Amino acid sequence: MGHNLLEGKKGIIFGALDDQSMAWKVAEKAVEEGAKITLTNAPVALRMGQIQELADSLNAEVIPADATSEEDLENLLSKSMEILGGPVDFILHSIGMSVNVRKNKPYTELNYSWMEKTFDVSAISFHKVMQTAMKLNAVNEWGSILALSYIAAQRTFPDYSEMAESKALLESFARSFGYHWAVKNKVRVNTISQSPTMTTAGQGVKGFHEFFDYADKMSPLGNATADDCADYCITLFSDYTRMVTMQNLYHDGGFSSMGMNPAILDK
């Protein structure tokens, strides 16, 4: 049961693929809390996933958009404002992709053209979304922009490859763009550094299941689930966090503050 935390608010959710996606859970929670939303993903992802099922269940429209294309983003934002009746109050960027990871390229032998694609899809797209939205005045005052990150932006996780640098860039964009948007229109921009989560994308990373178990044991509260992440996103879309901006917020059961957990040694 919702608490109407987003009553009267409008938003755009990027990245829902299937019911394991964090963006899928956020979309469900946002509507449950009273928001009206549009959904978007790249055309190839729309063909692979089940986003239309989600849209039908939430009475939301799906607008295809390649987040690396400024033209597509302009169309997405313009159509969303038309459908929702004006500028939005929140946007979730839940996008990440590495061809090097998919093709099991060792970190010391990366294909640089693939790396550039990784950065464009996983991080630069975040800047493009914000720049386009600001240009179109597509976000209301005190709006909230979120992107999903990971602690590999700060620490070394060898199998995460150049996605680590992508997340570091993503977090830097939140700080830098967050300053400019706060000054211009009081819009806040943050990233959430989430626990390893059993999503379709996450499980594609080499050794993911072993690391998921390790992080779960290392974290005093255990790993935060996709549902937990959705709840946290809702609070950051709500008016209760109006003065939080330019932050990377750890949502990981305490993992980011741990050095060693005796539970690991006992095993």
Residues with catalytic function: 150, 160
Has 11 been labeled as part of a binding site? Answer: no
Residues 6+ apart with CB under 8 A from 150: 160, 163, 164, 167, 193, 194
- Burial class from Cβ neighbours inside 10 Å (0-12, 13-18, 19+) for residue 187 reads buried
Partners of 91 in beta bridges: 12, 145
Pairing of the two strands 88-93 and 10-14? parallel
85 burial class (0-12, 13-18, 19+ CB within 10 angstroms)?
Answer: exposed
**Was 95 annotated as part of a binding site?**
yes
Return d(Cα 109, Cα 54) in angstroms, integer. Answer: 39
Is-contact 25 227, C-beta < 8 A? yes
Cα 31 to Cα 151: distance, rounded to the nearest angstrom: 29
167 is in an annotated binding site: yes
DSSP characters for 210-224? Answer: HHHHHHHHHSTT-PP
Q: For residue 22, which of 203, 210, 170, 216 has the smallest C-alpha distance?
A: 203
> Is residue 66 within 8 Å of residue 40, measured between CB atoms?
no
Per the CB < 8 A criterion, the answer to whether 145 and 190 are in contact is: yes
- Strands of the chain, DSSP E: 10-14, 36-40, 61-62, 88-93, 139-149, 188-194, 248-251
Q: Which residues are annotated as a binding site?
A: 15, 95, 167
Q: Which residues are annotated as a binding site for NAD(+)?
A: 15, 95, 167
